[in-house]
Amino acid sequence: MISHCEQLLYQQLQAQGIHDSRVLAAIRCVPRQRFVDEALAHQAWDNTALPIGFGQTISQPYIVARMISELSKSSPRRVLEIGTGSGYQTAILAQLFERVYSVELLEPLLYQARRRLKMLDLHNVISRQGDGWQGWQSKAPFDAIIVSAAARCVPRMLLEQLADGGVMVIPVGESSQNLQRISRHGEHFTTQILEAVRFVPLVEGSRG
């Protein structure tokens, strides 16, 4: 039974231009309240970002839906996610794609996300602690890459790990950020600017 809050969220997503029925169905399958602190559960169906500890936030449902809609146009099978965070977006990706590889810098967030994904019986996710600037070389190439934190510039290693015909969606910039959709055609990359966004920064590790 769908709650009034959930109904309101779907209506908002549709009004904001999210029409991909597979993406909307996947969002409907994932209980967002399970991915935030109990004290914030009453706000879980609001179309806003919420704190998840360690100065990080669970992404706004609209942004998750927008980014995944951009990926699912190309029917990818193997997806790399950078910034597991709460695991909310990971759970949605797991409904839509065969295998999800997810990299998170902060171990406590990663362990918590893993517990939540297990509780929801999502077994097609492989995650590891690591620096997203490096991607996940041993599992590359990926049909799609989705980055949940804003990079100062597009990480070269992520471009290299994108399969031919693959698509990456990534917020780029510092004080002002743009969501970019980058598609690969052989050694050629095409960038499309989607919209202005606000993400937490993709922390600089040992850059590739």
Question: If DSSP states are collapsed to H, E and C, what string results for 66-101?
Answer: HHHHHHHCCCCCEEEEECCCCCHHHHHHHHHCCEEE
Catalytic, 127? Answer no
Binders of ligand SAH in range 91-120 (CB under 6 A) = 103-106, 109
What's the closest the beta carbon of residue 186 comes to ligand SAH, in angstroms? 28
d(CA 52, CA 58): 6
Distances (CA, A) of 117 to 86, 108, 111, 139, 207: 10, 14, 10, 20, 29
What residues between 163 and 202 interact with ligand SAH by CB under 6 A?
Answer: 200, 202
Which of 56, 102, 127, 161 forms a contact with ligand SAH (CB under 6 A)? 56
Beta strands across the sheet bearing 99-104: 125-129, 99-104, 78-82, 142-147, 162-173, 177-185, 188-197
Q: Which position among 61, 76, 83, 135 is part of the footprint of ligand SAH (CB under 6 A)?
A: 83
Least CB distance from residue 58 to ligand SAH, whole Å? 4
**Given the rule CB under 6 A, which of 77-85, 94-102, 135-143, 165-173 is the region that contacts ligand SAH?**
77-85
Burial class (CB in 10 A: 0-12, 13-18, 19+), 44: buried
Q: C-alpha angle 123/125/127, rounded to 5°? A: 130
**Which is closer to ligand SAH, CB of 69 or CB of 148?**
148
The least distance separating ligand SAH from the CB of residue 83, rounded to whole angstroms, comes to: 3
Catalytic residue among 59, 69, 102, 127: 59
Min dist CB 55 to ligand SAH, Å, is 8
**β-sheet bridge partners, residue 58:** 50
205 makes contact with ligand SAH (CB under 6 A): yes
Summarize as ranges the residues that interact with ligand SAH (CB under 6 A): 52, 56-59, 82-83, 85-86, 88-89, 103-106, 109, 131-133, 148-149, 200, 202-203, 205
Could you give the residue numbers annotated as active site? 59
